[in-house]
């Protein structure tokens, strides 16, 4: 930008779980400086804030005014996204997720005006990610692709994105975690994350995300970590909702399930998700995150209000079902 004589300001007040006030403050600074373009460089939180700032510059008001679906009437200023982690796929989605500081709940702005105009993927920007962040953001990307694949809204186009994303991530996440300098693994993870974002933009996500929201909103657990811990347990719950797809997932995750029944192959999927978490140093239980069990019912009620992910899920849960999944996740996984 300097080389081309383009004036810019830097807004770097970003939290791992951003609150709405960060978008409001960023938009205020951008207006004061006459900004006519927003570039989001960073992980999903930075890109979500950048997308929201773009919308606030043209639509006015406060970020809270646009929580929900279809509340954004005008396109934002041009926005360019440059992800530095392979995780959220926010560079290609129409969603920006925030903590509402007034209520403590987590929710998103959703609408076509939030789609970025340009996404720039440079794997070299992800090479400095520490292993733990590589792991949690990578499983976040896998969760997007997996939930989009099993979503009741899935169709052949979204499945094309999901299948490729799952295959790329499963084949490369361990290598990227083990050696951050592995540029090929980093590139494949970025592409897998983007394709997972394309899939979720079409088919949506599911119960993992709904159950992860209270972990972020109530206890400040990072989104990727919350998804990663919950993913194997929710997947096991969902198996009977679409046995065939959950069986196919095992092959996408690199497992040979030839000759197995659909149910046994689906169980291999769950086992591989547990093993993947173990290999990546991700906690095997909610207990490791110090989540109090006496809050599970409250968490379940909140999760059930996250309407679109719950509706997309292949198995429709009750409050008691969600409490039971939290309890299983509290107990943790057996050794795989």
Do 140 and 73 belong to one domain? no
* pLDDT attached to residue 335: 53
Shared domain for 83 and 155, answered yes or no, is no
Q: Helix, strand, or coil here: 118?
A: strand
Tokens at 97, concatenated: 């997720």
124-148 pLDDT, tens digit per residue, is 999 999 999 999 999 999 999 999 9
Do 102 and 155 sit in the same domain of this protein?
no
User: What is the pLDDT at residue 204?
Assistant: 96
Q: Residues near 335 by Cβ (< 8 Å), separated by ≥ 6? A: none
From 92, 120, 148, the end of a domain falls on 120
Q: Worst-scoring range by mean pLDDT, 2-16, 237-251, 275-289, 307-321?
A: 2-16
What pLDDT is recorded for position 16?
83
> What would you report as the CA-atom Rg of the chain, rounded to the nearest whole angstrom?
19
**Of 76, 98, 120, which residue sits at a domain end?**
120
**Domain assignment present for 12:** no
What residues have CB less than 8 Å from 25, skipping those under 6 apart? 13
Q: What is the pTM of this model?
A: 0.94
- Decide if 211 contacts 237 (C-beta within 8 A): no
pLDDT score of 13 more than 90: no
- What SS3 class is residue 10? coil
Q: How many residues does the chain have?
A: 336
Does 82 lie in the same domain as 139? no
Q: Which residues pair with 227 in a beta bridge?
A: none
Work out how many domains the chain is built from and give that number.
2
Instruction: Give, rounded to a whole angstrom, the gap between the first and last alpha carbons of the chain.
Output: 50
Strands 95-99 and 106-110 turn out to be antiparallel
**CA–CA gap between residue 274 and residue 146 (Å, rounded):** 15
Indicate if the pLDDT at residue 105 is higher than 90: no
| In a domain? residue 13 | no
Pair 116, 187 in one domain: no
Residues 207, 279, single domain; the answer is yes
| Least confident among 13-17, 24-28, 223-227 | 13-17
Average pLDDT over residues 60-75: 95
Enclosing domain of residue 286: 131-331
Question: Would the pLDDT of 110 be above 80?
Answer: yes
- Could you read off the pLDDT of 293-318 as tens digits, one per residue? 999 999 999 999 999 999 999 999 99
Percent of the chain with pLDDT over 70: 99
Mean pLDDT (the chain, rounded): 96
List of residues 6+ apart from 138 with CB closer than 8 A: 86, 87, 169, 173, 176, 177, 189, 193, 224, 280
Query: Are 231 and 114 contained in the same domain?
Result: no
pLDDT at 336 over 80: no
The CATH number of whichever domain residue 80 belongs to comes to: 3.40.50.1970
| Nearest alpha carbon to residue 211 among 86, 320, 306 | 306
Give the CATH number of the domain where residue 210 resides: 1.20.1090.10
């Amino acid at each position: 930008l300097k080389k081309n004589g383009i004036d810019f300001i830097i807004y770097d007040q970003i939290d791992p779980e951003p609150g709405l006030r960060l978008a409001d403050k960023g938009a205020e600074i951008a207006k004061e400086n006459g900004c006519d373009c927003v570039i989001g460089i960073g992980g999903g939180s930075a890109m979500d804030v950048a997308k929201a700032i773009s919308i606030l510059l043209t639509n006015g008001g406060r970020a809270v005014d646009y929580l929900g679906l279809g509340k954004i009437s005008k396109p934002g200023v041009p926005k360019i996204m440059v992800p530095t982690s392979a995780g959220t796929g926010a560079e290609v989605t129409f969603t920006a997720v925030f903590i509402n500081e007034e209520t403590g709940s987590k929710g998103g702005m959703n609408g076509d005006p939030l789609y970025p105009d340009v996404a720039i993927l440079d794997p070299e920007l992800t090479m400095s990610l520490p292993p733990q962040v590589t792991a949690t953001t990578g499983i976040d990307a896998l969760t997007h692709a997996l939930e989009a694949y099993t979503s009741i809204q899935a169709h052949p186009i979204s499945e094309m994105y999901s299948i490729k994303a799952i295959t790329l991530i499963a084949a490369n996440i361990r290598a990227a975690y083990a050696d951050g300098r592995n540029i090929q693994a980093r590139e494949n993870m970025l592409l897998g994350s983007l394709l997972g974002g394309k899939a979720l933009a079409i088919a949506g996500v599911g119960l993992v995300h709904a159950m992860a929201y209270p972990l972020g909103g109530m206890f400040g657990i990072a989104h990727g970590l919350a998804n990663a811990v919950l993913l194997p347990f929710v997947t096991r719950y969902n198996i009977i909702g679409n046995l065939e797809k959950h069986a196919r997932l095992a092959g996408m995750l690199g497992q040979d399930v030839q000759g197995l029944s659909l149910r046994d192959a689906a169980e291999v999927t769950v086992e591989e998700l547990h093993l993947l978490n173990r290999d990546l140093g991700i906690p095997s239980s909610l207990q490791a995150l110090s989540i109090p069990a006496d809050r599970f019912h409250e968490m379940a009620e909140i999760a059930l209000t996250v309407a679109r992910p719950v509706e997309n899920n292949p198995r429709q849960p009750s409050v008691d079902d969600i409490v039971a999944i939290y309890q299983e996740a509290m107990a943790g996984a057996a050794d795989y």
